[in-house]
Every structure is written in structure tokens, then in C-alpha cells.
Amino acid sequence: MDLRHISFRLLEVFMSVVKTGSISETARRLHLTQPTVSLQIKRLQEAVGEPLLLIQQQKLHVTDAGLELFKTCQQVFGHFEDYEDFLTELNGGARGRCKIAMVNTAQYILPKLLGPYSNLHPHVELPLEIGNRAEVLDRFERGEDDIYVFSHPPSLEHAQAARFLHNPLEFIVPLNHPLANVKAVKLTDLMQYRFLLRENGSATRMLFESELQSRGLVLSDSVQMASNEAIRVAVASGMGIAVLSRHVLAKDDTSFKILNVTDAHLASHWYFVMRTDRHISHAARNFLKFAQQHVEQYLDTQWVRNELHNLHNLDLKLINIRC
Amino acid sequence: MDLRHISFRLLEVFMSVVKTGSISETARRLHLTQPTVSLQIKRLQEAVGEPLLLIQQQKLHVTDAGLELFKTCQQVFGHFEDYEDFLTELNGGARGRCKIAMVNTAQYILPKLLGPYSNLHPHVELPLEIGNRAEVLDRFERGEDDIYVFSHPPSLEHAQAARFLHNPLEFIVPLNHPLANVKAVKLTDLMQYRFLLRENGSATRMLFESELQSRGLVLSDSVQMASNEAIRVAVASGMGIAVLSRHVLAKDDTSFKILNVTDAHLASHWYFVMRTDRHISHAARNFLKFAQQHVEQYLDTQWVRNELHNLHNLDLKLINIRC
DNA sequence: GTTAGTTATAGGTGTTTATCTATGGGTTAC
DNA sequence: GTAACCCATAGATAAACACCTATAACTAAC
């Protein structure tokens, strides 16, 4: 039996012949001519090396080998139907994987969207990668993930990005800090204090430092710390003051004080970023659609800046990835 | 998803790529060139309408859709392997159907062969048809069965036949018959008695009547009866005398007497007959082979005339039956 | 920076295919 | 015996396929 050159079309034709018990009838149903069907069956028989149909008493008769092949075909087509169902789910975004890499700070925000999404589509795998800006940029370079989350979008080629959330920065000081109860302070007032900063390259730090530079200000003292959490706790315990994303600060957290800095309103935005040259999984596409429709619902409405519609010129790309 | 033009070869190639994780390696293994494999995969992806493989970090990576397709293919090939096993059994004659039609008298003989054969190949279906000569000839005409058993072979076109057993006819009389204890009788001595005969067309009767005709003898009285059994019982109960196949008479049956007719040794042979224009099932072929090898073992050796080797120019014919 | 290894693409070729139309032989039904 | 079916075969054609070679582009390793 040599199936190499047997196509599924051929099996379809064969099955129809078995079902109708007639070559002519099959031809009519499949909009073919009778000789075509005759020939197809002949080819199939040659491939199988066994008679499948024969004529007895002027009637088409299915041999044992033919009947068994018919059953086999039923099974096979069943499997492909299952596969088609799988594809449908995949296309509907109900299944698959959406790999997301985000910078540290985003972990205060994104889970609010991921939670509801994951509940809606429990079969979608959502592996998350969290790293500092440099690490996430690396992953982007290598195209390891479907979606990247940055504040301060990287202006790389092959990148497309869209905002979804405002990202205001706040100055925080310990409760017992001299400025803690001052109603309005200026940026220059802060320069004399020790600043606790994230590592170089962090979007928050970049934003802050570029503001300082543009105003010709210089910090008198700074300490580098690896995480927002560490900085928040360090500030609360009096180690210094800091600039942190509003989203990092719980509303009811009274272990520090937020300053009202009247002459500096630092802010960036949170972006979903994707490579334009990579295939975008259905799950990823679907998650973005979900985000577009539900950011207002699941994130603080006052900060939402939903520009995700900009992304939806994503179309399915097949394998020719390198183009 | 449009599988119509997808051949099994294509799926094979795809599976190899998934297994090796490399297009080039697959090309080497399947003795193809790398572009060929590349192109095949591309075609398959177009047919499925979904990316199956993509390149991540310079490595070929199977997508969810690809992996699922791979699993589907495994299943599908599994089914076809099962089917191939089935065909193998079929070809070995271990499975299938061998439809046999025989004339009444043969039912005293054939079961002795069919029993052992059926025990050897329990999966072979052996539907038997039993009828008088005219009925079996009809079946032959319509090609309803694989094998026919006749004494006195029909000289039809599209028929091939081979002997396997001698079929001597015996004259039997009731125990209290005047000739019952006569050592040697002549055929003419019998003409005055009432003969119990099978229906017209029966091989036994044909043989007997042609013998009478050639000798210019005429029966004085005869009664027609439908079965050998009926005749045997009727003879035993004194209703008349009869000519019957030796094989119909049990060796230890003492309810009648076999005459020693010195001037008439009527005999024919038992034949397996087949149509030459019909496909011969593997099971039928196999049964004939079995018969050829085992007639001596299962039938009375003294009567065996094994000429079945004459049949074994049977070769497999595909559907073009009408030729 | 050269080499050896990927994969994709372009272009070419002989073969196979999926079809068709036309025809012939056979059967069934009237 | 004619009409209306059935199926098989022959012959033709355009498309698709299965391959190839040659080449380009990219990466990893030396």
C-alpha cells in the first residue's frame, strides 16, 4: 500500500462512492463527471493494491478491504474535524499562548487585566516575564514574546506600540520628613535630599533625570535600588526620598507621604509593544482586543488612555518571517 | 482549512520536520533537497491557513497549531497502519469471506474440509449456499459466490474447474429386497424395480440416465424425490431402489443393502468450480490452497483425486471486471 | 572575516493530476 | 428494440506537483 500520492480529495470521493453505492451518483453530487470518479477509484485501488469495489449482479459492491478503508477514512476525517475545531478555538483566541514580557513596574498594573482575561479564557496560557528595562529590551530584540509592556516605548525598528494608561510619577517622602506636611513644594527644594533611584535605564529614572538635566539641576546624593518595592519600603523607613510611578503606590498606604510638587508633573504612558515582523498569535491578538475593550473597566479610569485601536492593523502572517 | 490537495507524502514530510526540528535535516533523511522541504511546508501551511512552524531565536519552533496537527497526523497514520495490518491479514487469508455454493450432495463431503479450515482461520466468514444443480448453476451465472462445488462440472465459458474427489455411485436396495443377498447382479436385472430418483438435472440422475440410454435400457417405474436423505430413507423402508453417491451413504448404515452391480460402474468426480472473470477473494484463494494440501487428510483417502494444482494460476484481478 | 550551517526564494523541468468530452458495452424497463 | 440507465476506457489539456539547481541572507563558530 503506497499512500504517498493519495490526497484527501481522493478519499472523499471514495467515501462518497461507498455511501451512495454509485459512481454516477457520486459524480453528480460532487459536480464531477462519471469518468473522473471512475478514474479516481481506480487510482485509489492501485495505491491500496487491493480491490475496493467490484461489480456483482450489476451492482456496485464494496469489498471487505473497501469497507475497512471506508471505516479508516471515517476515523481519519474525524481527527481532522477535531483539528479544525481546535483551529477554530485557536482563531477565536480561546486557546493558545500569549507570552508577555514586562518591565518591573508594569507588574502593578497588568495583572488587573490579565486576571479577568485569564478567567474568560482558561485555556490560554499566559506565561509572564518580568525584568528590568534592559532585560525586556533584550527579549524584544530576540523576539521571544508576543507582547511587551513598557512605559517609555522603545523607538526600535520593527516595533509598533500603543498607549493604554497614563503613568504619572509621584515624589514620596517619609512621614517625618521636613517636607512631609508642606502644601506645595518646588523641584529645587528636593535637590538637597538623598534620592533612592532604580537602576540606570529604568524609564522612571530616565524621565526624572532628563527633567533634571533640562532644568540644570543636579542631585546631591542618590542610592540605587533594584526594585520599586525596595524603594517604597526604604522611603517609609526614612532612608531617603524617591520618584515612583503612581501605580506602584497603594491608595491606602500611609507609610509615606506624597508631595505636591507644583513645578514638575512628570509622567509617561504605559504601552503595549509588539514586533511588526513577528507572527502574532491569535491569543495575543485576542488579548489585545480584550484589553482595548476592557481597560476602562479593570484599570483606574482616571488614568486610562486607550489608544489600542492603533494596533489593530495586525494581520496574520505566515511563515515567511524574515521579510 | 482545505485538505483536498494535501497528500500523505506532505504530512510525512511535515512530521519529519517536527521530529527533527530541522528542515535541512529532514531533507537529508528523506533524500530531498532543502528547498523542496521548505516549499512543502509552505504549501501545507497555506492549506491549513495557519502558521505551523516559525523561527524564534534562530531555531525552528512548532506552533500550537503545528503541534496539534502533528498529533493529528500521528493518529491518522496510526489508523492507516491498522488498515495495512488488516490488509496483510486479508492477504494471508486469515480474514475475509469465502462464499461457497454447492449442490445438495456436496453437503456430505465439503463440511469435512470446511470444519478444519474454519478452525484454522476463525475470522474467515464461510457462508454456504446449498441448492440443486439448477439453482447453483444460476448462482454461478450471476457470479454470486467465490467457489462452486459440482460433481459433473458445467462446461460454461468463464468457468474453470478442478477435481478433488472421486464420486462413485452405488445401487441400494431395501434389506428385504429379492436382490439384497445376490452376490453379483447385472444392470438389466434392476430395470423391473421402481427407482427413486432425484429431480431432473441432478448429476447423479444425469449420469444414470445417460448410462441407461447408451445401453438402450428403460426404467419400468420411477418416483422423483427432492433429496438424497429422502431417497435413502425411502429405500430403507421398502419404497423402491436407488442410485446414490457413495458419499451419501454412511459406512455403518445397515438400513439398506449396497448391490454389487458387475456391469455398471457409474462414477463422476467432485469439482471446485470458479468463474474466471470474477475477482477471487484472498480467503477463497486461501481455502483452495488449504484444500489442495489437506484433502487427503480430511476426506476418505481412497476416493481422493487431487487435481487442485490446476487451479493455481489464479491471480489477483483489480476492478476492471468486465474484460 | 571566513567557514559552515541555517532557511527562503527564484526559476526551471518532467511528471502527475484533475478534469473534461466522446464513445462503447452492458442491463433494465417498457 | 428502444430509451434510459449503469460503468469503463481512450484521448486531450491545463494546472499542479515534486522535484531540482543556484542563490541570497542570516547566524554561529572559529
Q: Which three cell numbers stand for residue A82?
A: 477535531
Closest CA to A50 of B218, B280, B157, B178: B280
Distance CA A211, CA B81 (A): 71
- CA dihedral (A199, A202, A205, A206) positive or negative: positive
Would the pLDDT of A285 be above 70?
A: yes
Would the pLDDT of B314 be above 70?
A: no
Chain D positions under 7 Å from a protein CB? 5-11, 16-23, 25-28
Give the distance from residue B154's alpha carbon to the nearest chain A alpha carbon, in angstroms: 20
- CA dihedral (A132, A134, A136, A139) positive or negative: negative
Q: Which three cell numbers stand for residue A243?
A: 520618584
Closest CA to A48 of B309, B180, B8, B16: B8
Q: Which chain A residues are within 8 Å of B42, Cβ to Cβ?
A: 318-320
Would the pLDDT of A294 be above 50?
A: yes
Distance CA A100, CA A228 (A): 20
Q: Which three cell numbers stand for residue B246?
A: 457413495
Could you tell me if A69 lies within 8 Å of chain B, comparing CB atoms? yes
Could you tell me if A12 lies within 8 Å of chain B, comparing CB atoms? yes
The Å distance, CA of B70 to C1' of D30, is: 37
Would the pLDDT of B204 be above 80?
A: yes
Collapsing DSSP to helix, strand or coil, A145 comes out as coil
- The pLDDT tens digits for A4-52 are 888 898 898 899 888 888 888 888 888 888 888 888 898 888 888 888 8
| Pairs of CB atoms within 8 A across A/B | 137
Q: What is the mean pLDDT of residues B305-317?
A: 68
Would the pLDDT of B246 be above 50?
A: yes
Calculate what percentage of chain A has a pLDDT beyond 90: 39
Would the pLDDT of B221 be above 80?
A: yes
Which pLDDT band holds residue A239 (cuts at 50, 70, 90)? very high
pTM of the predicted model as reported, rounded to 2 decimal places: 0.76
Residues 242-271 (B) with a CB less than 8 A from some CB of A: none
- The pLDDT tens digits for A300-311 are 999 999 998 887
Q: Which chain A residues are within 8 Å of B96, Cβ to Cβ?
A: 64
- The pLDDT tens digits for B263-287 are 999 999 999 998 877 777 888 888 9
The residues, any chain, with a CB within 8 Å of residue A130's CB and separated by 6 or more, are A101, A102, A103, A104, A106, A107
- The pLDDT tens digits for B136-182 are 988 888 778 889 999 988 777 778 889 999 999 999 999 999 999 99
Q: Closest partner residue to B8 among A6, A65, A83, by Cβ?
A: A6
B322 touches strand C (CB under 7 A): yes
* Amino acid at residue number A215: R
Q: What pLDDT shows up at residue A1?
A: 79
Average pLDDT along chain B: 87
Distance CA A322, CA A227 (A): 37
Q: How many CA atoms lie within 13 A of B204 on its CB side?
A: 28
Q: What is the mean pLDDT of residues A265-294?
A: 87
Would the pLDDT of B71 be above 50?
A: yes
Distance CA A135, CA A137 (A): 5
Say if residues A276 and A199 touch (Cβ distance below 8 Å).
Answer: no
Crossing angle for the helix pair A34-48 and A8-20, to the nearest 10 degrees: 110
Residues forming a β-bridge with A97? A125
Q: What pLDDT shows up at residue A317?
A: 34
CB atoms within 10 A of CB B39: 13
Measuring alpha carbon to C1', the residue closest to nucleotide C27 is: A58
Collapsing DSSP to helix, strand or coil, A232 comes out as helix
Would the pLDDT of A84 be above 80?
A: yes
* Amino acid at residue number B137: L
Chain C positions under 7 Å from a protein CB? 5-11, 16-23, 25-28
Q: Would you call A6 and B4 a contact, using CB atoms and an 8 Å cutoff?
A: no
Q: What is the mean pLDDT of residues B198-204?
A: 90
Q: Closest partner residue to A319 among B45, B69, B91, by Cβ?
A: B45
- The pLDDT tens digits for A164-209 are 999 999 999 999 999 999 999 999 999 999 999 999 888 899 999 9
Would the pLDDT of B113 be above 70?
A: yes
Give the distance from residue B60's alpha carbon to the nearest chain A alpha carbon, in angstroms: 11
* Residue whose C-alpha cell is 481506480: A42
Residues 64-93 of A with CB under 7 A from strand C: none
Q: Phi, psi (5° rounding) for residue B15?
A: -60, -40
Q: What pLDDT shows up at residue B318?
A: 33
Q: What pLDDT shows up at residue B323?
A: 23
Q: Would you call A7 and B6 a contact, using CB atoms and an 8 Å cutoff?
A: yes
Residues 77-106 (B) with a CB less than 8 A from some CB of A: 79-80, 82-84, 86-87, 90-91, 95-97
Q: Would you call A50 and B142 a contact, using CB atoms and an 8 Å cutoff?
A: no
Which pLDDT band holds residue B57 (cuts at 50, 70, 90)? low
Give the distance from residue B62's alpha carbon to the nearest chain A alpha carbon, in angstroms: 11
Q: What pLDDT shows up at residue A54?
A: 82
Angle in degrees, CA B115, B120, B123, rounded to 5: 95
Could you tell me if A67 lies within 8 Å of chain B, comparing CB atoms? no
Angle in degrees, CA A40, A44, A50, rounded to 5: 140
Closest CA to B279 of B153, B112, B146: B146
Q: Phi, psi (5° rounding) for residue A93?
A: 80, 10
Distance CA A258, CA A237 (A): 15
Closest CA to A279 of A120, A114, A90: A90
Residues 275-314 (A) with a CB less than 8 A from some CB of B: 279, 281
Count of positions (residues) in chain B? 323
